[in-house]
Amino acid sequence: MEILGLIPARLNSKGIPRKSLAPLAGRPLVEYTFDAARAAQTLSRIVVSTDDPDVAALARAQGIDVPFMRPPALADDDTPMLAVIRHAIGWLRQAQSYESAVIVLLQPTSPLRRASDVDDAVRRLLDTGADVTVSVVDVPHQFAPESLMVEESGWLTPLRPGNPVLRRQDKPRYLARNGPAVLAARTAYVESCAHLYEGRVAGQPMDRRHSADIDGPDDLLEVNDAIIRMRQGDAARRG
């Protein structure tokens, strides 16, 4: 079974200029995703979709395939990711007669995701018969809808009417997409759906420590410090 790993890395970003190449603990941000994709056991092929020639050059220097440059019309802030995925599928089919059964989206903004997270998502997709598997984290109970309040005329009222649910163990479990760090979908579904989450969606839990999503400069600084602490801990254990 052909399973395609797709890394979308566009040139422009409002929060962080040229985000994919932003320095993170001494390396460009996108390299962390290259590492996870290369180490994943389930991916048959890895392709980068970018409109940035420097990202393309970096990927090729590391043995990552960049068979096309993404059209500018698909590299805007408001470009739906579904359109980017479909463009990659269509280009590879028309230009190289390449077909994949599954496509795995790996966004560079999730540098702490591990190869095992990629493999777990793919295997969950195949084992459950889902259309899509997406990586998720548990929502802390204090941020659940049962805990939320709205302010009206200077007074707080529960977001949900009725008796408030106060005990943590009585609240439902809520899950949030963590970027997502990993999204695995059946190619046939991607080509036919109106949006990625309309079908049978399975969640693949990830721990919060590896679920960082780089959006703005503060996120970059926080993850930079986290990587340095991880490296120090690894060095101490080896020593």
Contact 48, 66 (CB under 8 A): yes
> Which region, left, alpha or beta, applies to residue 106 given φ > 0 means left and ψ of -120 to 50 means alpha?
beta
Beta strands in the chain (DSSP E): 3-8, 23-24, 27-28, 45-49, 102-105, 132-138, 149-152, 155-158, 175-177, 183-186, 201-205
pLDDT along the chain (239 residues), means of 10: 97 86 95 98 98 97 97 92 98 98 97 97 98 97 92 92 82 94 98 97 95 93 88 72
> What's the pLDDT at 236?
67
CATH of domain 3-137+176-238: 3.90.550.10
pTM, rounded to two decimals:
0.92
> What's the pLDDT at 207?
93
Tokens standing for 5?
A: 């790993």
> Any idea where the domains of the chain sit in the sequence?
3-137+176-238, 140-173
